[in-house]
Structure 1
Amino acid sequence: MTIRQLPPATGSPVDTAANTRATPGPVRSTAAALGLATAPAVSLGLGRFAYALVLPAMRTSLHWSMATAGALTTANAVGYLAGALAAPSVAARRGERPALLGSLAATVVSLAATAASSDLTYLLVVRMIAGAAGAVALIVGGTLAARLGADAAPGRSALLLGVYFAGGGLGVAVSGAAVPVVLGGHQGPPSWRTAWLVLAVLSLVAIPACLPGSAAPGPTRTDPRPGLRWPARPLLALLVSYGLYGSGYIAYMTFIVAHLRGHGAGDGLVTAFWVALGCAAVVAGFAWSGVLGRLRGGRGSALLMAVTAVAATLPLLSSAAPVSYASAVLFGSAFLSVITAVTTCARDSLPQHYWTAAIAGLTTVFALGQCLGPLLAGTLSDGPSGTAAGLAIGAVLLALAAATALAQRARSAPPVPAAPVSRDTVPG
């Protein structure tokens, strides 16, 4: 199983003397990772996950079924899939920095555009565009973050990736603090439209923080041959588990707020739940780095996926506020760190010139899972068991993902030899 790699703007770990720029030191690399964390904050926290907060108001105002609500998440995931496939080409042709900043700007525009109409077809298209732009931003930013730790110890490289993906948690926390205030307990059209505009403004304000990190120094060697393929077979178990994880985690993130609302949760509980989830994700970006640096192969991914499975099960056992908060903290502590673990595994398993294509390939499988998860969970949530059925299937998928990840072996042999590399760097 291979996925074609268009020429990414990434370096090769071999022949390091030919690198045209030095890898930044610890302080600069951490600062750069913090700046790059704007990408997941906007593309994930504000551009994707915040939809769960606006969904109850949109359902009430627009008279949607759960399946229709899930269709918007699926549309976003379809766009995410397209963006994942296009990311290596976009990064190579436009340059990494323009690709990153341009995709973040497109995400802002799509969020603002979501407020413009209540037509379902229009909303599906807009959410699809948001997904595509978000995927490009996340993949390009993730490649830059992975490169920051190219010459670092495993724990250090995992920390930098953890810092990067922790930005998604910050976006979740910010949206959790802002959106319920905007909705203010009202479920009419003005409230949900205003919520999308607020999310667009928050995203726009965040983008400047990404500027220093997007220009951080690092290796710039590339392989110019468009026919180069990345060896996906050694990561087959990880690919399967990541697809299952994509289906399971998005079911939770899409319908958990609707589930809480259906069990009488007010604005205060929803706000506290979402902020706790986001804050836990931010802290986890730092807390898990040491563990992920020691666990080889798919064991780190399996551990974190198992934590999300437990967290997704808790709301099914009780609707009490302490149980809900425990679910938020547990899920928040692991769900974005799974991406760190998966990226770390790919980074450790392949030469650097494959990283952009490998990250894009994993993101593609992840996106396929996200396309199926919301439709399945939404359809089940329209049944007699309500949102509990949708959350239950998500928990089952997460457990299956954890079990599958255990089959991913650590690399026991040297990576696939690097192809000859041109001494020219990619323009831009």
Structure 2
Amino acid sequence: MGMGRFFYTPVLPLMVAALHWSSAPGAWIATANYVGYFFGCLVIARGWVDPDRVTYRVALVASTLCLFAVPVSESLAWQGVVRTLAGVASGLIFVSITGRIPFVARRPLDSGVIYAGVGTGILISGAIVLAASSFLDWHELWLVCAVISAAFTLIAWNWPLPARNEDASQPAEATPPHAQTADPTAIPSRRRALASLTAGHFFQGAGYIIIGTYLVVLAEPVFGESAAASTWIVAGAATAASPLIWSNVAARIGTRRGLALCYSLQVGGAVLAVFASNPILLFVSAILFGGTFIGVVMMVIGVGTQMGISAAAAKLMTWYSLGQIAGPAFVAIALSKTIIGSFIAAAIALALGMGLTLFGALSSTTDK
């Protein structure tokens, strides 16, 4: 999922140069992927598709096939369709996996290992481009990524998901006592908490994707042609390590404090990027970006699951993916001429996300 979703970022500059694109085609194709991701989350959140073994395996195959399909045609329409389908597959994979974590994770470290897969995919994506772009063109780079993705698909094939029509109810330990009671006074409180969490996750999605989109642009004057791949490797390494770190932080100091710390570092990374005119600051900003966004997602989904929300991961990620669509659209309309303004907007969105998320986490009373 990490490669299928994120390989586009480091390889995009090579495609732009080879295909003589302006900035618009790349932005539209990226948006198509975000729309697909939203749809993939939505169909599970609405109950139209079950996150079972069949859905998961079809999405795995589709994600890899989409990587193979990108270099088939240079047509913008083809690229848009393929990347939309890749987004759908990514959404289905992510929600299917995260929805099952309470069933398989026995220690905080376990969930961290599972979430680390996304960062590993980002890291591999950047490494492919950095290592092979000097002797392979963009068509061949996509094929290399597809072959590696196929190998990971075989490894991931037997992730423990229920077969269709099997009982998939949550284990008792995954549902807090207050979620099991029929106390009618608890329902409005849970609804307020869920509304706050989803709104916060919307702003988190908007802020994170602005940084993820424009950090490589900010790095180009400093690193030159290797900017996208170099920055993506740093961000990917931080992303791969971060779930292990934040799962242990949350276990030690509590989810609310962990969320506050993680969000604060993410906002700090966005602000730091505004002043990042040298490699050290850019690398620190990339580390703060990669080292926090999965941590926030992991902990927020954990809070939603503890609240006893049905399909918590799907519902929260649906709003997250809406933010991913809205963030770049706002920047394109209002801030297209100022890269600094984009990062300021990202910092504001993340600060709003932090406030709303922490309010929802406090309202849920799930964190001891």
Residue from 258, 274, 290 that aligns with 1:300: 258
Query: Is the contact made by 1:166 and 1:282 (CA closer than 8 Å) also made in structure 2?
Result: yes
One-letter code aligned to 2:28 = A
Residue from 99, 119, 129 that aligns with 2:75: 119
Query: Is residue 115 of structure 2 the alignment partner of residue 161 of structure 1?
Result: no
The Cα offsets for residues 243-300 of structure 1, whole Å up to 9 and x where unpaired, read as 0011111111122112211x14135554443222212222222111122235556553
The Cα offsets for residues 97-128 of structure 1, whole Å up to 9 and x where unpaired, read as 22212101101111221112222222111111
One-letter code aligned to 1:214 = P
Give the aligned partner of residue 140 of structure 1.
Answer: 96
Cα separation, partners in 2 of 1:118 and 1:379, compared to 1, 3 Å: farther
Residue from 338, 341, 344 that aligns with 2:296: 338
One-letter code aligned to 1:411 = S
One-letter code aligned to 2:263 = M
- Listed as ranges, the matches of 1:172-251 within 5 Å are 172-184=122-134, 191-214=137-160, 220-222=167-169, 232-251=191-210
Cα separation, partners in 2 of 1:126 and 1:271, compared to 1, 3 Å: closer
Query: Is residue 211 of structure 2 the alignment partner of residue 252 of structure 1?
Result: yes
Give the aligned partner of residue 286 of structure 2.
Answer: 328
Give the aligned partner of residue 316 of structure 2.
Answer: 362
The Cα offsets for residues 175-233 of structure 1, whole Å up to 9 and x where unpaired, read as 1111133332x9xxx7222222222122111112213433699x94449xxxxx9x754
The Cα offsets for residues 312-360 of structure 1, whole Å up to 9 and x where unpaired, read as 2222202201111111222221111111111111111116xx2xx2211
Residue from 334, 341, 347 that aligns with 1:395: 347
Q: Hey, what's the Cα distance between the residues in 2 that align with 1:379 and 1:67?
A: 12
Query: Is the contact made by 1:277 and 1:333 (CA closer than 8 Å) also made in structure 2?
Result: yes
Q: Can you give the 5+ residue segments of structure 2 that lack an aligned partner in the other structure?
A: 171-186
Query: Is the contact made by 2:216 and 2:227 (CA closer than 8 Å) also made in structure 1?
Result: no
Q: Hey, what's the Cα distance between the residues in 2 that align with 1:394 and 1:65?
A: 24
- How far the C-alpha of 1:131 sits from its partner, in A, is 0.5
Query: Is the contact made by 1:114 and 1:126 (CA closer than 8 Å) also made in structure 2?
Result: yes
Give the aligned partner of residue 184 of structure 2.
Answer: none
Q: Hey, what's the Cα distance between the residues in 1 that align with 2:327 and 2:25?
A: 13
Q: Can you give the 5+ residue segments of structure 1 that lack an aligned partner in the other structure?
A: 1-42, 224-228, 414-428
RMSD in angstroms over aligned alpha carbons?
2.9
- How far the C-alpha of 1:63 sits from its partner, in A, is 3.7
The Cα offsets for residues 128-169 of structure 1, whole Å up to 9 and x where unpaired, read as 1001011011111111222213xx5xxx3x432222111111
- How far the C-alpha of 1:83 sits from its partner, in A, is 0.7
Query: Is residue 331 of structure 2 the alignment partner of residue 377 of structure 1?
Result: yes
Cα separation, partners in 2 of 1:199 and 1:109, compared to 1, 3 Å: same
One-letter code aligned to 1:196 = W
Query: Is the contact made by 2:211 and 2:289 (CA closer than 8 Å) also made in structure 1?
Result: no
TM-score (norm 1): 0.73
Query: Is the contact made by 1:67 and 1:375 (CA closer than 8 Å) also made in structure 2?
Result: no
Query: Is the contact made by 2:162 and 2:168 (CA closer than 8 Å) also made in structure 1?
Result: no
One-letter code aligned to 1:369 = G
Q: Hey, what's the Cα distance between the residues in 2 that align with 1:378 and 1:212?
A: 41
Q: Hey, what's the Cα distance between the residues in 2 that align with 1:65 and 1:378?
A: 14
Query: Is residue 13 of structure 2 the alignment partner of residue 56 of structure 1?
Result: yes
Give the aligned partner of residue 84 of structure 2.
Answer: 128
Query: Is the contact made by 1:54 and 1:192 (CA closer than 8 Å) also made in structure 2?
Result: yes
Q: Hey, what's the Cα distance between the residues in 1 that align with 2:7 and 2:168?
A: 37
Cα separation, partners in 2 of 1:412 and 1:310, compared to 1, 3 Å: closer
Q: Hey, what's the Cα distance between the residues in 1 that align with 2:3 and 2:267?
A: 23
Residue from 34, 48, 62 that aligns with 1:106: 62
Cα separation, partners in 2 of 1:295 and 1:243, compared to 1, 3 Å: farther
One-letter code aligned to 1:252 = I
Give the aligned partner of residue 87 of structure 1.
Answer: 44
One-letter code aligned to 1:49 = F
What percent of counterpart residues are identical? 29
Query: Is the contact made by 2:130 and 2:230 (CA closer than 8 Å) also made in structure 1?
Result: no
Cα separation, partners in 2 of 1:58 and 1:379, compared to 1, 3 Å: farther
- How far the C-alpha of 1:381 sits from its partner, in A, is 6.0
List, as ranges, runs of 4+ consecutive aligned residues in structure 1 with deviation greater than 4 Å. 88-91, 267-270, 294-299
Query: Is the contact made by 2:101 and 2:111 (CA closer than 8 Å) also made in structure 1?
Result: yes
- Listed as ranges, the matches of 1:1-80 within 5 Å are 43=1, 45-80=2-37
| SS, match of residue 118 in structure 1 | coil
Residue from 286, 294, 301 that aligns with 2:244: 286
